């Protein structure tokens, strides 16, 4: 995103032109920003290493297709995310299936699809995989997802590697699964995996988890398991405000140094750091409202469109779509949803009037993918911008769409 002569642009298109043609609110993504962010990883990996984009960050088919064309693999957490990836043309040999609650139907579909690996998150899941692979008489490659008991200091809802987290296996479970899988002709343990959370700015925390899974992988090799991959997860953060952001180059330099003399291939699962900075949410200022000493900009996008500020107390930059030569004022951006918590930004200095437009920045990850129909509100249109071209990649919902499953 750039500002030229008082107007906000996404690639070569003024954002105000998108609003005039497609209405508000809208999500827009820069394809060049996605490509540039992906290349930050691709430049640093070795030939046999894999980048498996975390689909949960943004699962739009067109974005998955773009990443697949760039050579990305995918990390999925549901059967339908897997279906999305295959529909988008993903290489099945570059797909890993994470998540703690995979149903029998999802596991069956994944095994039949011959994907790269399925994460084992519990003894119960391991037993279910054994049963299904036996029923299908198909071999399946699996990863042991380890819980390393590492906290990262971000929001508690996105901490996934602590001892009390629902994710991953403890030492006792790893030992039991290793013993039961040894010599089994249908279930192969080929990967040791770990994902400690999201919005990580300190690469050394990921290295700490790498040390943990590296040690476990060596033990599994000693037990005759053919470990091929170490999956270090994702989680590198972006800069929403003034916090430090993760550095893919620095991380991968340290990873490669750590693994000198080892034959393990690396899997990474970046999501936010690829798509986060590529997206904006454009919204109209419906009214300016004063309440005591506070001023509200009442906007047409709400917490149903962007849940992060309400759910995680997340901070997003806000920019005027067109600059005005007026006095700056301090506003809270309040949405239309009937909840006191429907505030998308607090205490922002802006030069705006009613009927102006603002862009909420860095919403490419965990933005549109977490939208809802709360208050019977319709999900926004989504656009992919490439140079001076715009593609509608998700239509704006209609009332007929909203009630289609109820009639």
Domain extent listing, the chain:
2-29+276-403, 99-268
**What is the value of pTM for the model shown?**
0.92
Tens digits of residue pLDDT in 231-264: 988 778 888 988 777 788 888 898 888 888 888 9
Decide if 338 is catalytic: yes
CA distances from residue 394 to 17, 32, 109, 274, 383 in whole angstroms, order as listed: 18, 19, 26, 20, 7
Please give the sequence-ordered ranges of beta strands (E in DSSP) within 91-228, or none if there are none.
95-97, 117-120, 140-145, 187-193
CA distance 238 to 118: 28
Round the average pLDDT of the chain to a whole number and report it: 92
State residue 259's pLDDT score.
Answer: 87
Q: Give the CA angle between residues 289, 295, 298 to the nearest 5°.
A: 50
CA distance 247 to 43: 13
State residue 152's pLDDT score.
Answer: 43
Which residues are bridge partners to 2 per DSSP?
A: 9
The H or E element that residue 265 is part of is strand 265-268
State residue 279's pLDDT score.
Answer: 98
- What is the CATH code of the structural domain delimited by 2-29+276-403? 2.40.37.10
The rounded percent of the chain whose pLDDT value lies above 70 is: 95
Task: Single out the catalytic residue among 85, 142, 212, 338.
Answer: 338
State residue 197's pLDDT score.
Answer: 66
Sheet holding 2-4, edge to edge: 2-4, 7-10, 13-14
CA distance 224 to 317: 52
Helix 61-69 vs helix 79-87: crossing angle, to nearest 10:
60
pLDDT-flagged residues of the chain (< 70):
148-165, 197-198, 201
State residue 18's pLDDT score.
Answer: 98
Please state which architecture CATH assigns to domain 99-268: Alpha-Beta Barrel (3.20)
């Amino acid at each position: 995103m750039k500002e030229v002569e008082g107007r906000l642009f996404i690639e070569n298109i003024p954002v105000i032109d998108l609003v005039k043609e497609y209405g508000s609110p809208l999500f827009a993504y820069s394809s060049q920003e996605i490509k540039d962010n992906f290349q930050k990883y691709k430049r640093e990996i070795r030939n046999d290493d894999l980048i498996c984009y975390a689909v949960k960050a943004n699962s739009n088919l067109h974005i998955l297709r773009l990443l697949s064309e760039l050579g990305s693999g995918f990390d999925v957490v549901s059967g339908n995310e897997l279906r999305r990836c295959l529909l988008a043309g993903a290489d099945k040999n570059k797909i890993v299936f994470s998540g703690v609650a995979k149903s029998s139907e999802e596991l069956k579909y994944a095994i039949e699809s011959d994907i790269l690996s399925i994460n084992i998150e519990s003894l119960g899941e391991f037993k279910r995989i054994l049963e299904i692979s036996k029923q299908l008489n198909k071999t399946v490659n699996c990863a042991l997802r380890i819980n390393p008991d590492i906290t990262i200091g971000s929001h508690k809802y996105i901490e996934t590697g602590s001892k009390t987290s629902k994710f991953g296996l403890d030492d006792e479970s790893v030992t039991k699964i290793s013993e039961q899988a040894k010599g089994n002709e249908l279930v192969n343990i080929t990967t040791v995996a770990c994902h400690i959370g999201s919005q990580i700015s300190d690469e050394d925390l990921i290295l700490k988890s790498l040390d943990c899974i590296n040690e476990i992988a060596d033990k599994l090799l000693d037990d005759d398991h053919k470990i091929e991959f170490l999956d270090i997860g994702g989680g590198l953060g972006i800069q929403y405000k003034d916090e430090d952001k993760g550095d893919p180059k620095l991380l991968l330099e340290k990873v490669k140094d750590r693994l000198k003399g080892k034959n393990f291939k690396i899997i990474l699962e970046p999501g936010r750091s690829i798509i986060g900075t590529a997206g904006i949410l454009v919204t109209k200022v419906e009214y300016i409202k004063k309440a005591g000493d506070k001023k509200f900009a009442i906007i047409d996008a709400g917490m149903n469109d962007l849940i992060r500020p309400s759910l995680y107390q997340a901070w997003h930059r806000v920019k005027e779509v067109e600059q005005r030569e007026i006095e700056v004022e301090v506003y809270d951006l309040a949405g239309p949803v009937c909840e006191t918590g429907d505030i998308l930004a607090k205490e922002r200095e802006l030069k705006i009037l009613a009927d102006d437009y603002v862009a909420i920045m860095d919403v490419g990850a965990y933005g549109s993918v977490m939208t809802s129909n709360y208050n019977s509100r319709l999900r926004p249109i989504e656009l992919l911008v490439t140079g001076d071209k715009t593609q509608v990649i998700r239509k704006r919902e209609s009332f007929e769409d909203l009630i289609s499953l109820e009639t």
